[in-house]
C-alpha cells in the first residue's frame, strides 16, 4: 500500500512540476522569447531571470537560478540575464546559484554547453556538498560570442565581445575581444579577422 501511495505521489508531483514548467515557458514566450516545451527552467523565490526579445532556448536545456551561500557565509540570490537574439541550444546547462550569469546579445550557445556560476569549497574537514561556494563566482559573456558544443565555462570567467570558444573547451580565465580559444584548459589559438567580402556587402 505504501508503495502504491509513493507511486501516486510521484505521479502527482510530476504533473505539478510539468505544469510549473509550462507556466514558466509561457511567461517568457509571451515576452518575445522562444522556449522549447522540453526545456526546464527553475527559478527559486527572490532570484531573477530575464530573457530579452528573440531569445531561443532549445530542447532539453536546463536553466537553474537559485540561492546559494557565498564564501563569506552570506546567502545570495542568483541572477541570470540573456540578451536579445541569443540562442541557447539543445541540452545546454546554465546554473546561476548564488551568483550572476550574464549573457549578451546575439550569442550562440551550442549543444551541451555548461555555464557554471559558482562552485563548492573543497577544504578538508567537511563534505564538499555541505561547503560554501568557492570565492570565484559569476560568469559574463559579451555580445556576438560563439561557444562551441560540449564546452564548459567555469566560475569567474569573463568572455568579451566577439570571442569564439572551440568545441569541447574548458574555459578558466578571461577571454579578450574577438579572440579564439580552445582546449582543456582553453588557451588562445587565434583571433577573428575582417572579411573583405563581408565588409563590402555591409557597406
DSSP-derived secondary structure for 54-69: T-EE-TT-EEEEEEEE
CATH ID of 2-191, from 3.40.1190.20, 3.40.50.10710, 3.30.450.40, 2.160.10.10 = 2.160.10.10
Distance CA 194, CA 201 (A): 12
112 is catalytic: no
Residue 192 has pLDDT above 80, yes or no: yes
The residue annotated as part of the active site, out of 59, 81, 112, 120, is 120
Question: How high is the pLDDT of residue 9?
Answer: 54
Question: How high is the pLDDT of residue 147?
Answer: 98
Least confident of 14-28, 42-56, 86-100, 149-163: 14-28
DSSP conformational letter for 128: G
Instruction: Cell numbers for 65, please give them.
Output: 537560478
Q: In this prediction, what percent of the chain has a pLDDT beyond 70?
A: 81
User: Is there a contact between 152 and 118 (Cβ–Cβ < 8 Å)?
Assistant: no
Instruction: Cell numbers for 197, please give them.
Output: 567580402
pLDDT band of 93, cuts 50, 70, 90: very high
Q: What is the mean pLDDT of the chain?
A: 85
Domain-wise residue ranges, the chain: 2-191
DSSP conformational letter for 84: T
Question: How high is the pLDDT of residue 11?
Answer: 52
Residue 197 has pLDDT above 90, yes or no: no
Helix (H, G, I), strand (E, B) or coil at 71: coil
pLDDT tens figures, 158-183: 999 999 999 999 999 999 999 999 99
DSSP conformational letter for 31: T
CB under 8 Å to 188, separation ≥6 — which residues? 175, 179, 180, 181
Residue that wins the pLDDT comparison between 133 and 161: 161
CB under 8 Å to 43, separation ≥6 — which residues? 24, 49, 65
Angle formed at CA 99 by CA 147 and CA 19, multiple of 5 degrees: 80
Q: Residues, the chain, total?
A: 203
Question: How high is the pLDDT of residue 4?
Answer: 63
Least confident of 65-74, 99-108, 110-119: 65-74
Q: In this prediction, what percent of the chain has a pLDDT beyond 90?
A: 60
Amino acid at each position: 500500500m505504501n508503495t502504491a501511495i509513493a507511486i501516486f505521489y510521484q505521479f502527482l508531483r510530476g504533473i505539478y512540476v510539468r505544469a510549473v514548467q509550462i507556466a514558466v515557458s509561457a511567461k517568457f514566450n509571451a515576452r518575445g522569447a522562444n522556449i522549447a516545451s522540453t526545456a526546464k527552467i527553475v527559478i527559486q523565490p527572490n532570484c531573477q531571470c530575464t530573457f530579452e526579445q528573440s531569445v531561443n532556448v532549445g530542447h532539453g536545456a536546463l536553466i537553474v537560478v537559485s540561492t546559494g551561500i557565498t564564501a563569506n557565509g552570506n546567502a545570495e540570490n542568483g541572477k541570470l540575464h540573456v540578451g536579445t537574439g541569443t540562442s541557447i541550444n539543445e541540452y545546454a546547462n546554465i546554473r546561476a546559484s548564488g551568483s550572476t550569469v550574464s549573457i549578451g546579445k546575439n550569442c550562440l550557445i551550442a549543444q551541451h554547453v555548461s555555464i557554471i556560476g559558482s562552485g563548492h569549497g573543497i577544504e578538508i574537514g567537511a563534505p564538499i556538498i555541505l561547503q560554501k561556494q568557492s570565492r570565484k563566482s559569476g560568469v559574463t559573456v559579451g555580445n556576438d560570442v560563439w561557444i562551441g558544443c560540449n564546452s564548459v565555462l567555469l566560475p569567474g570567467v569573463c568572455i568579451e565581445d566577439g570571442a569564439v570558444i572551440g568545441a569541447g573547451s574548458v574555459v578558466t580565465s578571461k577571454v579578450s575581444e574577438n579572440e579564439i580559444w580552445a582546449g582543456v584548459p582553453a588557451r588562445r589559438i587565434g583571433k577573428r579577422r575582417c572579411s573583405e567580402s563581408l565588409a563590402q556587402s555591409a557597406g
